[in-house]
Amino acid sequence: MEGPPPLIYRPPPGALRVVHLDADAVVVEKPAGLLSVPGKGEGMADCAEARVAAAFPGALTVHRLDLATSGLMIFARNARAQRILSGQFEKRIVQKRYEAEVWGAPEADAGRIEAPLRADWPNRPKQVIAADGRMAVTEWEVMERRGRTTLLSLRPLTGRSHQIRVHLAAGLGLPILGDPLYAAGEALAASPRLELYAVFLAWRRPEDGAWAEARLQAGQG
């Protein structure tokens, strides 16, 4: 089976918009087409991590978004905060919500996908649903039915690579518009980019344990 085409990296220019800032964390809006962390190979150093560290010296990565996904990323501003925030992601304390426009429409208005994922080794970086994979759980809810497409709200309860994309395409048969890896035909052609947005994050502040949050307004991301 032929694998995906090689990546041609052309990161979008411009400073990242800061959505939240305090003594321990900075949340920015990562655009689609920008790596979260440096890639392997020449010309792959430009990324959200590097841009945030340039603006906020000492900033450290806590989690990642797919290259094609846009939306909220949180960075720690010191090592202690990175340790605490990373632990919150590992323990599923952090609350995350995404929005995606998919091709087709589910019969129900909400549901839950529980399907293990692993790398599709001959076709990396693609992932597949497989019995020998790591369990992944995604909750979804219809926000708007748009005829041939549907806008979904999504809560990934685990953080597997490409989890939402694979669960929707292979689990529900509803590929995300413009997905270069998991959509084809009309679904792929329906958008020039992946229509997946990280729109909400909530976490406990390392300083005092109080809840903090960041969100994007409708239409942003």
> What's the CA gap between 69 and 82, in Å, rounded?
22
For residue 123, what are its two tokens? Answer: 């076709």
Nearest to 44 by CA among 4, 6, 3, 86: 6
Q: What is the dihedral of CA 13, 18, 19, 23, to 10 degrees?
A: 150
* 200, 95 Cβ separation under 8 angstroms: yes
CA distances (Å), origin 39, targets 26, 49, 62, 138, 221: 22, 11, 16, 27, 22
Q: Tell me whether the omega of the peptide bond preceding residue 125 falls within 30 degrees of 0, making it cis.
A: yes
66 noted as active-site residue: yes
State the catalytic residue, choosing from 24, 66, 120, 179. Answer: 66
* Cα–Cα distance, 33 to 131 (Å, whole number): 31
Alpha helices in the chain (DSSP H): 48-55, 79-90, 163-166, 185-189
**Amino acid present at 70:** S
Name the residues annotated as catalytic. 66
